[in-house]
């Protein structure tokens, strides 16, 4: 946090998760707060899943904590703890950012999908008219599926270990957009697809691969949601095969401006 000055007046935003050592958002947002002259600092908070409700009550009781990001595994569990929800968060069924409102209440927001799409666009990666394969059906997957369709993706295939969750995600997207744009399927990339690993597999080098790397071919784009490590084993394997690759760090960068905008709107 070079250049960040912490005073007694400094307001805090956290990032909660279990684990939390991989969190990149403090490094992304703190320079943005500093550039705006906002006396606000982001810090990581390790919140074990079993203690979420207890710690949530503690966060609510800290007046100078004005918000916090949410990462795995809390994105869906936290939705029931929020006092109100932004329409996107309600539609997706998961939150990844909470802001303390002026009345002290906690409002849940969902920036995963918009941040992911912003990251792709910042690198000139095509979305419009393109088929996408999303591996995983958790909170980030739902948000990304909605955001990709809104950005013009031609179709979405969702693959998940539990096929029922993949079907439920596809049904939710189809119902919201009023057309059959999403379906459940296998983790088998097709020519030219945008392939997204929206699982947590890749946080550790010993993790099983979320899909068979031999199925990735030039002409496809392989994108990670994982930001730490910046290059996962599967990203490296994809690059070796001549596949366009996209680190999860770009999703973090895409969300950083959204986070700072929402906090500064009330608290800068």
Q: State residue 242 phi and psi, 5-degree precision.
A: 80, 20
Q: Are 79 and 93 in contact (CB under 8 A)?
A: yes
Give, rounded to a whole angstrom, the gap between the first and last alpha carbons of the chain. Answer: 19
* Token digits of residue 181: 């744009």
Catalytic residue list contains 165:
no
| 11, 24, 75, 114: the active-site residue | 75
CA quadruple 37, 39, 44, 45: dihedral, nearest 10 = -160
Distances (CA, A) of 18 to 71, 107, 182, 226: 8, 21, 30, 14
**Could you give the residue numbers annotated as active site?**
75
């Amino acid at each position: 946090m070079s250049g960040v000055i912490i005073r007694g007046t400094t307001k805090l935003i956290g990032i909660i998760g279990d684990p939390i050592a991989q969190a990149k958002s403090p490094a992304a947002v703190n320079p943005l707060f500093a550039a705006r002259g906002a006396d606000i600092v982001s810090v990581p908070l390790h919140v074990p899943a079993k203690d979420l409700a207890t710690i949530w009550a503690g966060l609510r009781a800290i007046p100078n904590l004005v918000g916090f990001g949410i990462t795995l595994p809390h994105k869906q569990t936290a939705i029931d703890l929020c006092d109100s929800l932004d329409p996107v968060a309600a539609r997706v069924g998961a939150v990844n950012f909470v802001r303390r409102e002026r009345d002290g209440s906690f409002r849940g927001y969902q920036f995963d999908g918009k941040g992911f799409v912003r990251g792709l666009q910042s690198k000139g990666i095509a979305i419009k008219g393109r088929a996408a394969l999303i591996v995983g059906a958790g909170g980030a997957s739902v948000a990304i599926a909605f955001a990709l369709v809104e950005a013009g993706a031609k179709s979405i295939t969702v693959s998940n270990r539990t096929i029922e969750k993949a079907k439920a995600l596809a049904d939710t997207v189809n119902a919201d957009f009023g057309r059959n744009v999403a379906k459940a399927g296998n983790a088998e990339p097709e020519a030219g697809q945008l392939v997204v690993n929206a699982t947590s597999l890749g946080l550790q080098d010993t993790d099983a691969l979320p899909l068979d790397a031999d199925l990735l071919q030039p002409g496809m784009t392989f994108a990670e949601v994982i930001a730490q490590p910046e290059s996962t084993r599967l990203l490296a394997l994809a690059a070796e095969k001549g596949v366009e690759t996209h680190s999860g760090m770009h999703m973090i960068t895409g969300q950083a401006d959204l986070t700072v905008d929402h906090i500064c709107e009330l608290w800068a």
